[in-house]
Chain A
């Protein structure tokens, strides 16, 4: 390392050049790859996708037929041998034990009862992988939870789990919050789901299910969704002064600080240079005295 590349200690110690600022956002290791799709399971989306896939398949087949006709006509005109007729491709069959669970029409009575009682507040009901999902509008979640708790025919006594997922690529909402309810007496499980946009405070479930207390604190801590009327909306796992919400998709995996510079890449003495620069700004001379 030559002396010219090193930042020199400032001459006037009474005027430090302010706190050292390293552009962390530009660090190559902090570049976050944002998701491009919205993997929100839904029967409506699935049906639309299947329809589009079938239509695309049919269009491809029609194009192949048309191409064949033109090729045939061309060959006939030129007096050559006719080309082979096309064969419709069959989807390849895999020889394995995978059987992907696709969303299906809701058949369960509980889902129909919820739809009947809540009416237009239910946005979607479907079943997938043997699990019942009921998506309600975000304003009606407390009503839906109360219904599940108090209705004799539903009687979901326990809120087993509550969590949220960040969907940055979605339009109209940013998070899905899911409530997994268990009915101990009826041996059933149900998932309630709401879609909430950024800066929206859904009603807290604590009034109906006290077990939501810590789970909602965790959601706030990890994803930054504030719940309205929660008795104690504070962070639970991270320290109180933590910046950001780690389970958001735009939160980088590597931490703040010097871990940004991999030691393997530090052959040029980057860390040392930063330390010297920082010390220089504070008016401290860290440089070793040169041997005479």
Chain B
């Protein structure tokens, strides 16, 4: 009567918890996952090929559209990789503004992660609270560069324009209320019995496995490895900032949640320091109208909200296009850990595992 055989099912590609179009092929023994294979590529647009056929400047709009939740962080990595390729020194004021916007972007990205992750697991209320604050950050994006999501915020060599008048007031208003907002989210979740049951001990990934699989970002830090590129290889104005790298040792979904919440507090701290120590001066380096590369290859990695985003560029002598444009997307590498995290667990927990990796398919497929 009862057959003892494994069942194969597809999670996605059209599933609300897959954050885009991720398809996961699962083999189940009852409710336990015995085999898990993520299938990606549904959003592949050939960003690398397109950028190789455009000038150095034009690549930026494509970086916006990779990880659309953290466009500013993608722009920053892109701009700095190009500056490394050409050997450009960026004015100090531009570095500070970049750092500040990048931290705002980290907040926005973590907020959208918190909102959707909690929604996936079944906590509806946090979604509304988190989106309320995210809205303020998007308003600031709009005040700075005119667009809210796909920002195209920076230029090679600095910024297109200085901060708009009145921006300081917006930041002050935001910083005054944000710490209490984090407390609000934590009041809703930290001691929530359902939240704890669904996250504690779920989707564990040890530090050794995480390093072997190339995992970076909050997932690695929740396993106890204090690796943050802002500290390890400082870029922009991070060398002058005073902040901590929050880590946990439990390496489960709950630890990753706590790490991200602490990271938001540190981001607010960095923004405050940027505002206090904002230097005066120009925001754009002196550059020729047309940039022509020399033979050179650079790999520049920055700390995006989701992990290490790296740009690998190859320049051709006298050419205005990159000869090779490659993106090391944090989500692409982090998603490799999904089988390790999900196999042996329950099928309901794979939703938590996908959520805790904080993936955006636009960047995984590129």
Contacts from A to B (Cβ < 8 Å): 35, 37, 39-41, 45-46, 94-102, 128-131, 133, 157-161, 163, 165, 178, 180, 182, 184, 187, 189, 191, 209-211, 213-215, 218, 222, 235-239, 246-247, 251, 253
In the bound complex, do residue A236 and residue B323 qualify as a contact, i.e. CB atoms below 8 Å apart? no
CA distance A243 to B260 in the complex (A): 42
In the bound complex, do residue A39 and residue B323 qualify as a contact, i.e. CB atoms below 8 Å apart? yes
Q: A158-B214, A209-B214 are in contact. Are A35 and B323 (CB under 8 A)?
A: yes
CB closest residue in chain B, given A46: B295
In the bound complex, do residue B288 and residue A94 qualify as a contact, i.e. CB atoms below 8 Å apart? yes
- The dominant DSSP class at the A interface is loop
- Asked if B225 lies at the interface with its beta carbon under 8 angstroms from chain A, I say yes
In the bound complex, do residue A158 and residue B211 qualify as a contact, i.e. CB atoms below 8 Å apart? yes
Name 17 A/B residue pairs within 8 A (Cβ), A-sorted: A45-B295, A96-B285, A97-B88, A99-B88, A100-B296, A130-B84, A131-B298, A160-B214, A160-B328, A161-B310, A180-B328, A189-B233, A210-B212, A211-B333, A214-B336, A238-B41, A253-B49
Q: A165-B314, A165-B324 are in contact. Are A157 and B211 (CB under 8 A)?
A: yes
In the bound complex, do residue A165 and residue B298 qualify as a contact, i.e. CB atoms below 8 Å apart? no
Give the interface residue-count category, chain B: 35 or more
Contacts from B to A (Cβ < 8 Å): 40-41, 44, 46, 48-50, 52-53, 84-89, 157, 211-214, 216, 225, 227, 232-233, 285-288, 294-299, 301, 308, 310, 312, 314-317, 319, 323-324, 326, 328, 332-333, 335-336, 365-366
Q: Which 9 A-B pairs have the closest CB atoms?
A: A211-B214, A161-B328, A39-B316, A97-B285, A237-B41, A99-B87, A165-B324, A96-B286, A163-B326
CB closest residue in chain B, given A214: B336
CB closest residue in chain A, given B308: A160
CA distance A45 to B297 in the complex (A): 14
In the bound complex, do residue B286 and residue A180 qualify as a contact, i.e. CB atoms below 8 Å apart? no
In the bound complex, do residue A41 and residue B48 qualify as a contact, i.e. CB atoms below 8 Å apart? no
Q: A184-B211, A237-B41 are in contact. Are A163 and B296 (CB under 8 A)?
A: no
Smallest CB separation, B287 vs chain A (Å): 6
Chain B residues within an 8 Å CB radius of A46: 295
CB closest residue in chain B, given A96: B286
With beta carbons under 8 angstroms apart, the residue of A178, A209, A247 that contacts B48 is A247
In the bound complex, do residue B212 and residue A209 qualify as a contact, i.e. CB atoms below 8 Å apart? yes
Chain A residues within an 8 Å CB radius of B214: 158-160, 209, 211
| Residue of A37, A161, A222 with most chain B CB atoms under a 10 A cut-off | A161
CA distance A37 to B295 in the complex (A): 10
CA distance A214 to B222 in the complex (A): 23
In the bound complex, do residue B336 and residue A131 qualify as a contact, i.e. CB atoms below 8 Å apart? no
In the bound complex, do residue A99 and residue B312 qualify as a contact, i.e. CB atoms below 8 Å apart? no
CA distance A157 to B220 in the complex (A): 13
CA distance A215 to B366 in the complex (A): 13
Q: A180-B310, A209-B214 are in contact. Are A96 and B41 (CB under 8 A)?
A: no
CB closest residue in chain A, given B296: A41
In the bound complex, do residue B87 and residue A189 qualify as a contact, i.e. CB atoms below 8 Å apart? no
Beyond the given pairs A100-B294, A180-B328, A253-B49, 4 more chain A to chain B contacts, judged by CB atoms under 8 angstroms and listed by A's residue number, are: A96-B287, A131-B299, A211-B213, A238-B41
Q: A160-B328, A214-B332 are in contact. Are A237 and B365 (CB under 8 A)?
A: yes
In the bound complex, do residue A97 and residue B317 qualify as a contact, i.e. CB atoms below 8 Å apart? no
In the bound complex, do residue B88 and residue A129 qualify as a contact, i.e. CB atoms below 8 Å apart? no
Chain A residues within an 8 Å CB radius of B89: 97, 99
In the bound complex, do residue A41 and residue B297 qualify as a contact, i.e. CB atoms below 8 Å apart? yes
In the bound complex, do residue A237 and residue B333 qualify as a contact, i.e. CB atoms below 8 Å apart? no
CA distance A235 to B366 in the complex (A): 15
Smallest CB separation, A161 vs chain B (Å): 4
With beta carbons under 8 angstroms apart, the residue of A100, A213, A218, A237 that contacts B86 is A100
Chain B residues within an 8 Å CB radius of A214: 332-333, 335-336
In the bound complex, do residue B41 and residue A39 qualify as a contact, i.e. CB atoms below 8 Å apart? no
Smallest CB separation, B99 vs chain A (Å): 19
Chain B residues within an 8 Å CB radius of A253: 49-50, 53
CA distance A193 to B52 in the complex (A): 21
| Residue of B86, B212, B214, B323 with most chain A CB atoms under a 10 A cut-off | B214
In the bound complex, do residue A129 and residue B310 qualify as a contact, i.e. CB atoms below 8 Å apart? no
With beta carbons under 8 angstroms apart, the residue of B288, B315, B319 that contacts A96 is B288
In the bound complex, do residue A97 and residue B41 qualify as a contact, i.e. CB atoms below 8 Å apart? no
Smallest CB separation, A222 vs chain B (Å): 8
CA distance A45 to B336 in the complex (A): 38
CA distance A96 to B292 in the complex (A): 14
In the bound complex, do residue B233 and residue A211 qualify as a contact, i.e. CB atoms below 8 Å apart? no
CA distance A251 to B308 in the complex (A): 30
In the bound complex, do residue B288 and residue A98 qualify as a contact, i.e. CB atoms below 8 Å apart? yes
